[in-house]
Structure 1
Amino acid sequence: MRDLPHHRPVLAGMAYHGISGSGVRLEALPEGHLLHVLGAIEPTALAAELVKAGFAKSSIRKAGFRQWFVAGDEPLVPASIDSLVAALVGKAFVMDQSHGRVRIGVSGRSSRALLSRGTAVDLDLFVFPEGHSAMTMVGHLSVQIVRTGDDSFELTVLRSFAESLWDDLAHMAASAEKDSA
């Protein structure tokens, strides 16, 4: 009997260590964990439950009405998710999206200009501050954009579209470099 296939990060074959140029860096982020939480729980209460369940280093991103993504670089530990599910009974539902979505980092002084080529979201720091997130389209792909710093963003996309988004971002970066030359 053959061994089960090993997990391979979806962007492993594509410049996995990143692309830098023209003030922009694209980076495939670790495929740690991504939980989708749905329910009538406030983010502060959710944050407290995350700490108790061992997700202290995770971040909470608004994903819609009474919906959040909990993202982090560490691999998912089954006991932690079981603990979180038990703590949220009657308040919220938790769905593991870790193997279904991929995160891409976009950073650098031109990151906002690059993303503005693909989305209509106003990414000005005063309108879209650090920690803010939005579900939007980048080109033809549904993506969640999160501001993680002054000049850094994280994009979360369905796993099957990760390579397409990476290609689109790389193409937009190359076009920006040509335009600035």
Structure 2
Amino acid sequence: MIRDYYNRNALDEKLRGTPQSPGANHLAIGHRQAVALVLAIAGEEDAVEKLLSSATEFAVRFSAPGEWLVVSENDTPEALQRRLDALCSGRAHIVDQSDARVLLRLSGPSVRRILAKGIGLDLHPAAFETGTSANALCGHIAVNLARTGQDAFELIAPRSYAESLFDDLMTMGREHDLTAAFAG
């Protein structure tokens, strides 16, 4: 039996009955974004990086040398794959990760203090600027962390760890009245 997990978020059960209006510190769970992994072919890393950085219709997150996560709010997973295949024109392998990853957006005035409880990176704006991304551990869970604004971060995590990461973030944000809901 083939299952399509794209229509069901890993956190559907966790967010049932949670507040819909965001507080000052809020965890928004992405529900319909497409995520792809771009792996540059050996020797093509610089060319692929330049091509990806020139695109404005999706967000590019550095994952490792020659490897990026691409997030699109507007494309279906298939459309994002086609768009990236055309853009990279044989210089990279594109792997759809939409069903395998969960996107969480954490925002608010206390976001750095919340994340500092579980992430061992210097999140000061001078050290981790807007647009910067890195792989890190949030507690015991591997995430790709990206700073998307002054007080805003995105975490991309494996689907199988989504509930555990959600619980950890909510515990880390308890003293800061962290709220959570699906993104609108």
Q: CA deviation at 1:104?
A: 0.4
Q: CA deviation at 1:173?
A: 1.0
Q: Percent identity?
A: 31
Counterpart residue identity of residue 118, structure 1:
G
Counterpart residue identity of residue 141, structure 1:
I
Determine if the alignment matches structure 1 residue 46 to structure 2 residue 52: yes
Q: Which has the higher contact order (CA 8 A, sep 6+)?
A: 2
Q: Measured at CA, do residues 105 and 83 of structure 1 come closer, stay the same or move farther in structure 2, by a change above 3 Å?
A: closer
What is the count of residue pairs matched by the alignment? 169
After superposition, the CA RMSD in angstroms is: 2.6
Which sections of structure 1, spanning at least 5 residues, go unmatched? none
Within 1, Cα distance between the matches of 2:77 and 2:158?
21
Q: CA deviation at 1:83?
A: 4.6
1:66-81 aligned within 5 A? 66-76=66-76, 78-81=78-81
Q: Which residue of 1 aligns with 2:101?
A: 101
Within 2, Cα distance between the matches of 1:18 and 1:29?
14
Q: CA deviation at 1:32?
A: 1.2
Q: Is the 8 A contact 2:30 2:105 kept in 1?
A: yes
Q: Is the 8 A contact 1:29 1:103 kept in 2?
A: yes
Counterpart residue identity of residue 161, structure 1:
Y
Q: Which residue of 2 aligns with 1:174?
A: 174
Which sections of structure 2, spanning at least 5 residues, go unmatched? 178-184
Question: The residue matched to 2:15 in structure 1 has which SS?
Answer: coil
1:91-170 aligned within 5 A? 91-170=91-170
The normalised TM-score by structure 2 is 0.80
Q: Measured at CA, do residues 77 and 168 of structure 1 come closer, stay the same or move farther in structure 2, by a change above 3 Å?
A: closer
Further displaced range: 97-106 or 11-20: 11-20
